[in-house]
Amino acid sequence: MRLESCNHAAMALERIAVAVAYAALFFGAGVWAPYFPLYLAHLGFSGGQIGAIIGTAPLLRWSSAIGWGYFADRWRRRHLLLVLAAFSGSLFFVPLLFMRSFLGIVAVLTCINLFHGAMLPMIDATVMDHLPRLGGDYGRLRLWGSLGFIAGALVSAPIIHLSSPAAVPALLLAPTVFLVAALYFLPREQIGSAGRFRAPWKLLNPALSAFLATAFLLQLSGGAWGAFFAVHSARLGFSDAIPGITWGLAVIIEVGVLFWGRQIVERFDAAGMIVFTLLVTSARWALTAIATDEVIVVSLQLAHSITFAVFPLAALLLLTRLVPPQSSTSGQSLYGMVSFGFGGSAGIALAGVLVDRIGTSALFGVEAGIAALALLPAWRLRHRLRR
């Protein structure tokens, strides 16, 4: 009885650690996304300098994740490397408090991204390895990340308003203390043996390649939303509060989808969920391109819950099927690098090149076409999985 009670307590502690880790990680994202460009402008950086810093961050993070994933699976030391990367990356937030030059900021952020790029894929791989022990519901664990994002944005707003954007580095540093502590209490075992490990570049097969192509195109289609929705709403004459309200509503709906994620994945197959996501996303961008009514434009963005909640749920399911368990960290890192790294950075770059030439409305139209194009590899993936 005592052993069983201790085991239940250990599992409860691990579930709390996972929730805190996701919340702390995404709290920082909730500060970074809306306020770090503002901080860089506060330092006097040009638009080109700000774009370079923000645009290269996803590529740095996710490219580094491949290396961390490789060694985590090859050496079977994922937990140790996870804590080490989190602690080392967090240390570099300290000089960010004092750095003011462009090259200094670039150097510090490069170090942060190279270390913290490993966080999400290694946490996700750990959770999927131990999902039954952690309650069996990935969505309800991952939603703490969305709640953390909301908290980061909401807590930062009054602090920055009452002080100045100079508070942003401290707001980014604060949650890393909780992140490192939470990661220490995550489950330590990895599924599989080192002898059956396969490097990331050896994981590719026709089905996984089709999935990665789909994920890349979906992220590529999100550049206008991620970088220029505020510009789009301003050009339509909407209130300055609309971007913040829209982001807040979108993430709240995302939390709801993740809360019911287990029921969704039990009812629908992963490939079908991906096709549905692409259809909804393509329609979302196309209608955003032509809508001019404030309520309609905001309502369309509630489909964010499909684009960025249903798709990740399907992706996690597919990766457990397409990637051997002993290479789970490498599989998560490969997915992140191709989609969020290459796709995310290329999407922002493409949107930046086109926005002044064709305008924001036409830009959303182009991205509707990109999302529709992703249906081609998605249908190929669905065919491969049915064989």
How would you write the pLDDT of the chain (387 residues) with one tens digit per residue?
555 666 777 888 999 999 999 999 999 988 887 788 788 888 988 867 877 887 788 888 888 888 898 888 888 889 999 999 999 999 999 999 999 999 999 999 999 999 998 899 999 999 988 998 898 888 889 999 989 988 888 888 888 878 888 999 999 999 999 999 999 999 988 876 666 677 777 788 899 999 999 999 999 999 888 778 878 888 888 876 677 778 778 888 888 888 888 788 778 888 889 999 999 999 999 999 999 999 999 899 888 878 878 898 899 888 988 888 888 888 888 898 899 889 988 888 888 888 888 988 999 999 999 999 999 999 999 888 876
CB 70 within 8 A of CB 332: no
Q: Are residues 180 and 149 in the same domain?
A: yes
Give CA–CA dist 76/340, Å, rounded: 25
In a domain, 219, yes or no: yes
Q: Are residues 249 and 117 in the same domain?
A: no
Give CA–CA dist 234/332, Å, rounded: 37
- Listed in sequence order, the residues at least 6 apart from 64 whose beta carbon sits closer than 8 Å to its beta carbon are 113, 114, 115, 117, 118
Q: Are residues 181 and 259 in the same domain?
A: no
- Between helix 270-290 and helix 375-386 the angle, nearest 10°, is 170
Domain boundary among 161, 188, 215: 188
Question: How far are the Cα atoms of 133, 330, 337 from residue 325, in angstroms, in the given order?
Answer: 16, 10, 19
Q: Are residues 122 and 253 in the same domain?
A: no
Q: Are residues 210 and 261 in the same domain?
A: yes
CB 116 within 8 A of CB 85: yes
In a domain, 252, yes or no: yes
In a domain, 193, yes or no: no
Q: Are residues 141 and 248 in the same domain?
A: no
Give CA–CA dist 133/116, Å, rounded: 26
Q: Are residues 139 and 204 in the same domain?
A: no
Q: Which residues of 121-143 are buried (b: 16+ CB within 10 A; e: fewer)?
A: bbbbbbbbbbeeebbebbbbbbb
In a domain, 224, yes or no: yes
CB 262 within 8 A of CB 137: yes
Please give the DSSP secondary-structure letter assigned to residue 312. Answer: H
Q: How many Cα atoms are found within 13 Å in the side-chain-facing hemisphere of 198? A: 14
Q: Which domain holds residue 75?
A: 1-188
Residue among 329, 296, 317 nearest 123 (CA): 329
Domain boundary among 127, 153, 188: 188
Give CA–CA dist 318/113, Å, rounded: 27
Q: Are residues 274 and 141 in the same domain?
A: no
How confident is the model at residue 163, as a pLDDT? Answer: 85
Q: Are residues 184 and 207 in the same domain?
A: no
359 three-state secondary structure: helix
How confident is the model at residue 307, as a pLDDT? Answer: 81
Task: Say which CATH number the domain at 100 has.
Answer: 1.20.1250.20
* Interior angle at CA 297, CA 151 and CA 152, nearest 5: 10
Q: Are residues 12 and 153 in the same domain?
A: yes
In a domain, 70, yes or no: yes
- Listed in sequence order, the residues at least 6 apart from 20 whose beta carbon sits closer than 8 Å to its beta carbon are 144, 178, 179, 181, 182
In a domain, 230, yes or no: yes
Give CA–CA dist 348/377, Å, rounded: 22
Count of structural domains within the chain: 2
In a domain, 194, yes or no: no
How confident is the model at residue 190, as a pLDDT? Answer: 84
In a domain, 24, yes or no: yes
How confident is the model at residue 2, as a pLDDT? Answer: 57
289 three-state secondary structure: helix
CB 343 within 8 A of CB 217: yes
Quickly count: other Cβ atoms within 10 Å of residue 112's Cβ. Answer: 24
Q: Are residues 16 and 92 in the same domain?
A: yes
How confident is the model at residue 153, as a pLDDT? Answer: 82
Quickly count: other Cβ atoms within 10 Å of residue 3's Cβ. Answer: 7
Give CA–CA dist 185/86, Å, rounded: 13
Q: Are residues 2 and 59 in the same domain?
A: yes
For residue 131, which phi and psi values (nearest 5 degrees)?
-55, -45
23 three-state secondary structure: helix
Domain boundary among 157, 188, 219: 188
Q: How many Cα atoms are found within 13 Å in the side-chain-facing hemisphere of 118? A: 31
CB 332 within 8 A of CB 124: yes
